[in-house]
Structure 1
Amino acid sequence: MSTMKTSIPMTMKALVTQENKTASLRDIPVPSIDDDELLIQNVAVAQNPTDWQYIDRVTNVDTIVGCDFSGYVVKIGKDVTSISVGDKVAGFTQGGNYTDRGAYAEYSKASADLVWKIPDGTVTWEDAATMGCAFWTAIQGLFHPMRLGLVEIPHKVEREQWIFVYGGSSSVGMFAIQLAHLAGYQVVTTTSPKNFDLCKSLGADAIFDYKDPEVSSKIKAVTKDTLHHVFDTICTLQTQTLAMKTFAPGPGKLIVIQPPQPDAQILREDVQIDHVLIYTALGRDFVLFGKFYPAAPEDRVHMVQFLKKVPALVEKGLVKPNPVKLWEGGLASINDGLRYMKEGKNSGEKIVYRI
């Protein structure tokens, strides 16, 4: 069991982006915090595709990699009243974008209202670390009024309504199935046959092999051609095209976690495609691939209010963390784990490291 350190050092180990599209472990200063922030001693950190993509494709040199963390609060800003030193928390940050803010380090920092407290005796550090980037993306994609705008838990939809989650065994997909199910929706999903049981255990009502050439017509049949909400967690031209073919007549909405594909959009002009980019929930300006994204206060407010619900969801066992694949070796082994994911070997599990 990890213990909280009694003193905060001046420097820490962190995985930092290099000019040659790699990341290396370096000693850098422990970050200072603002009045509304926390300093967290990381115990476990989880891996997402965005981590290797930020190193390989974005390459903001000298920035700390990693988004998902869980750990002990070791310092609080003077305006923080909701959280105390010693509390166990988990959260999400925009790795690969800041020199003093990222998860793949011995310490990370976060706004006090953008973490959730881990209830004692519930989930492990590793479990809690899985509930960051992907969990937040599922929350925003499903419930934000400007995304799918589904009925938000603890409320439930009053009549039978279907939602299609493409990629049910992806990290985002696993959380989306659970959250939509909790809100009373009927969930149809696609995955490979080896993950059928996993998706069923999370609350999926109908599951199909994504490689089945008849999959779109089967989804139309099981939903009785009533589908108006689709969440694509894979987001290629192929997946968005298939998603478009499952919609019922009339207006619909497709939420994607990668940029929308124009060739998919032309199939159904009455279906709106909207891109979820979860960094907007952090409430900060940022630049990605040369595009400026201004701070989105409404996205931050929505996430803050939802995160207040998470401890109770965890305590009651209503939301299960992603299945954990613990990767031995801590910070020094993260490059190996990123390579494994980049090669497409990761499925139905969340790679997590102990710090």
Structure 2
Amino acid sequence: MSPDIPQTMKALVTQADRTAKVQDIPVPNIDDDEVLVRTVALAQNPTDWKFIKNITNVGTICGCDWSGYVAQVGKNVSSPSVGDHVAGFVQGGTYTDRGAYAEYVKTPAELVWKVPDQTLSHEEAATMGCSFWTAAQALFHPTRLALVEPPAKVDKEEWVMIYGGSGSVGMFAIQLAHIAGYKVVTTASPRNFDLCKSLGADAVFDYKDPDVADKIKEATKSSLHKALDAISEKSSQTITVKSLGSGPGKIVTILPPQGEARELRKDVEIEGTLIYTSLGREFNFGPTKYPVSLEDRSHMAEFLKKVPELVVARKIRPNRVKLWEGGLDGINGGLHYMIEGKHSGEKIVHQVIKTA
């Protein structure tokens, strides 16, 4: 390890009482194909508090989304280089030496993307982790919705539905589907209609409207056959199924598919997607064991190569940032705020190193 890198670091670590606290732990050693990043900004996701409260892998580093500067590279790594501004996603709450909510994070070099100069701040780049990757996997992976992947564009008029357009996954999914040339219909609260339209949605409907499914079918002329449910509760899956036109369809969910939704239409396939598979590691998620998926990792590694170009062209906008004070020590407060459901249309971000 470089003499400039300390032996220990501060990190938010899962405790046996289903809480997390900041502790001093060793700075992780990297493998030959990995990089070590000095984190600058960290972003929150619901999965962060769920790992702490529900799964509780004691002694593991919490957090998934990060942005920072490369501090060290493995001997097989040709890119990125030490000093580069990079951002990425890791599986927090699972490993004792790998998690975002720390002063240093390690990750495979092919699973980071280099943030182009004079484009995004660290706080903005940190928002493009778990939710951004989930949207990309759900929309473009050949075994999920298999949409045309940017920079290519679909060659005909085709609608895609994004349920939950003002959530973090939904906001990225709207943008990605739009730049791929699809017409996008989404749901949101009326206060977020303009936000969804600014991201590329062609039609937005109130998810609480009892006639929302019928209105979506009318707007899409019953031609809708593919959808991403970026909320994935029982009610959202039911509405999404009812919004599709006649004939075979497919819905990808970010939480497990609901049996009742599947019963509504036998010709509609409902499949869940779990972004952790893109990291190419075997892991346990609750009682379920997931094997290594080289296919999912390869797809994400190739997609990440395209991200800098999309950012430079301003085709992708980060989530709106809600900066939370306190650095690592403030994360528990931000997670509690999220648990209470007080945020909408924005991403809670923490500064490990103050940039402004």
Shorter chain as denominator, the TM-score bin is over 0.9
Aligned to 1:205: 202
For the pair 1:342 / 2:339, whether they are aligned, the reply is: yes
Aligned to 2:235: 238
Question: Post-superposition shift, 1:6?
Answer: 8.1
Distance 2:241 2:117 in 1: 44
Aligned to 2:103: 106
Aligned pairs (5 A) from 1:1-355: 7-355=4-352
Distance 1:149 1:82 in 2: 29
Question: Post-superposition shift, 1:221?
Answer: 0.2
Question: Post-superposition shift, 1:7?
Answer: 1.3
Distance 1:73 1:307 in 2: 17
- Unaligned stretches of 5+ residues in structure 1: none
Question: Post-superposition shift, 1:165?
Answer: 0.3
Number of residues of Structure 1 aligned to a counterpart in Structure 2: 351
Q: 2:181 is paired with a residue of what secondary structure?
A: coil
Q: 1:245 is paired with a residue of what secondary structure?
A: helix
Distance 2:93 2:218 in 1: 43
Distance 1:304 1:312 in 2: 15
Q: 2:150 is paired with a residue of what secondary structure?
A: coil
**What is the root-mean-square deviation of aligned Cα atoms in Å?**
0.9
Deviations 1:72-95 (Å, cap 9, x if unpaired)? 000000000121110110000000
Q: 1:280 is paired with a residue of what secondary structure?
A: helix
Distance 1:221 1:320 in 2: 30
Distance 1:58 1:345 in 2: 23
Percent sequence identity is 63
- Runs ≥4 in structure 1, deviation > 3 angstroms? none
Distance 1:119 1:250 in 2: 44
Distance 2:273 2:287 in 1: 18
Question: Post-superposition shift, 1:346?
Answer: 1.4
Distance 2:237 2:315 in 1: 30
Q: Which amino acid aligns with 1:58?
A: I
Q: Which amino acid aligns with 2:228?
A: F
Q: TM-score, normalised by structure 1?
A: 0.98
- Unaligned stretches of 5+ residues in structure 2: none
Distance 1:197 1:266 in 2: 34
Q: TM-score, normalised by structure 2?
A: 0.98
Q: 1:249 is paired with a residue of what secondary structure?
A: coil
Question: Post-superposition shift, 1:288?
Answer: 0.8
Question: Post-superposition shift, 1:289?
Answer: 1.1
